[in-house]
A and B are shown apart, each in its own frame.
Chain A
Amino acid sequence: MFKTSQSYPILFLLILLISGCKEKSASTDPKMEEMKLTQKALEIHKRVLTLDTHSDTPLRMIEPGFDMAERHDPRETGSKVDYPRMIEGDLDAIFFAAFVSQDIRDDDGNTRAKDLCLQMIDSIVASTQKNSNIVGLALNPEDAYTMEKAGKRAIYIGIENGYPIGEDLSNVELYFDRGVRYITLVHSANNDLADSATDPNGPEHGGISAFGSAVVQEMNRLGIMVDVSHGNDSVFYDAISMSKAPIIASHSNARSITDHQRNMTDEMLGLMAKNGGVVQLTMLANYLREAPPNKKLDSALATLRGNMKPIEDMTLEERNAMRRSTQELNERYPDPPATVKHVADHIDHIVKVAGIDHVGIGCDFDGGGGIEGVFDVSEVMNITIELVRRGYTEEEIRKIWGGNLIRVFKEVQAVAKRIQSEEKS
Chain B
Amino acid sequence: MLKWLCVVFTLGLSTSIVDHPLRLSLCEIEYTSNKQILSINLKLFLTDVNEAIVFDPYSKELAFCQPNESAQANKMLMDYVNRFFYVKANRKKVDLKIKSKRLSGEGENTALWVYFEHQQPLPLTSLEIKNAVFTDLFFDQNNIVYVHVNGKSKSLMLNKKTSVHQLKF
Interface residues of A (CB under 8 A from B): 54, 56, 59-60, 62-66, 75-78, 99-106, 108-109, 112, 115-116, 119-120, 160, 187-189, 198-200, 229-230, 251, 262, 282, 284-287, 291, 294, 301, 304-305, 308, 311-312, 322-323, 326, 330, 334-335, 337-338, 364, 366-371, 375
- Assess whether A101 is in contact with B142, with CB atoms less than 8 Å apart: no
Interchain CA distance A60-B53 in the complex, whole Å: 28
Please name the residue on chain A nearest to B8 by beta carbon. Answer: A188
Q: Are B6 and A64 in contact (CB under 8 A)?
A: no
Interface residues of B in 1-60 (CB under 8 A from A): 3-14, 16-23, 26, 28, 53-56
Q: With A63-B157, A282-B12 given, is the CB distance from A115 to B152 under 8 Å?
A: yes
Q: A60-B157, A103-B5, A198-B109 are in contact. Are A285 and B16 (CB under 8 A)?
A: yes
Q: With CB as the reference atom, state the residue of chain A lying closest to B156.
A: A62
Given contacts A78-B139, A188-B8, A312-B72, contact A62 B3 (CB under 8 A): no
Q: How far is the CA of A262 from the CA of B12 in the complex (A)?
A: 9
A285, B21: Cβ atoms under 8 Å? yes
Given A101-B144, A230-B12, A251-B12, residue A62 in contact with residue B157 (CB < 8 A): yes
The CA-CA distance from A62 to B21 in the complex, in Å, is 19
Residues of A close to B22: CB separation below 8 A: 56, 78, 366-368
Closest to B158 in A: A63
Q: A-B pairs with CB below 8 Å: how many?
A: 165
Q: Are B18 and A312 in contact (CB under 8 A)?
A: no
Whose C-beta in chain B lies nearest to the C-beta of A188? B8
Establish whether residues A78 and B159, one from each chain, have CB atoms under 8 Å apart when the complex forms: yes
Q: Given contacts A188-B109, A284-B19, could you give 20 more A-B pairs where the C-beta distance is less than 8 Å?
A: A62-B156, A63-B159, A64-B165, A66-B157, A101-B5, A101-B7, A102-B7, A103-B5, A104-B5, A116-B146, A160-B11, A187-B11, A188-B7, A198-B8, A284-B21, A285-B16, A286-B21, A305-B55, A311-B54, A334-B18
Q: Are A104 and B11 in contact (CB under 8 A)?
A: no
17 CB contacts below 8 A, A to B, read: A59-B157, A63-B157, A75-B139, A78-B139, A100-B155, A116-B154, A116-B155, A119-B155, A160-B11, A188-B7, A189-B6, A308-B55, A311-B53, A311-B54, A330-B18, A337-B19, A369-B12
Q: Is the interface of A mostly helix, strand, loop or mixed?
A: loop
Given the complex, which residues of B lie within 8 Å of A305, measured CB to CB?
Answer: 55-56
B162–A64 contact, CB under 8 A?
yes
When the two chains form the complex, which single residue of B109, B140, B152, B155 contacts A77, counting CB atoms closer than 8 Å? Answer: B140
User: Of the candidates A106, A189, A282, which one forms a contact with B7 in the assembled complex, judged by CB atoms under 8 Å apart?
Assistant: A189
Interface residues in chain B, defined as those with a beta carbon under 8 Å from any beta carbon in chain A: 3-14, 16-23, 26, 28, 53-56, 61, 72, 76, 104-106, 109, 136-137, 139-142, 144, 146, 148, 152-162, 165
Across the interface, do A112 and B146 meet the contact criterion of CB distance under 8 Å?
yes
Contact of A65 among B18, B28, B162 (CB under 8 A): B162
- Do B162 and A109 touch across chains, with their CB atoms under 8 A apart? no
Provide the bound-state CA to CA distance between A65 and B160, in Å.
13
Pick from A66, A104, A322: contact of B4, CB under 8 Å:
A104
Q: Which of A198, A291, A312 contacts B10 (CB under 8 A)?
A: A198
Decide if A364 touches B21 in the complex (CB within 8 Å): no
Q: Which A residues are in CB contact (< 8 Å) with B7?
A: 101-103, 187-189
Given contacts A75-B139, A120-B155, A335-B18, contact A104 B6 (CB under 8 A): yes
Chain B residue nearest in CB terms to A250 = B12
Q: Which 5 pairs from chain A and chain B are nearest by CB?
A: A78-B140, A368-B13, A335-B18, A285-B19, A367-B11
CB B163 to nearest CB in A, in angstroms, measures: 10
Give the CA-CA distance A119 to B19 in the complex, in Å: 30
Nearest Cβ on chain A to B143's Cβ, whole angstroms: 10
Q: Which residues of B contact A100 (CB under 8 A)?
A: 155
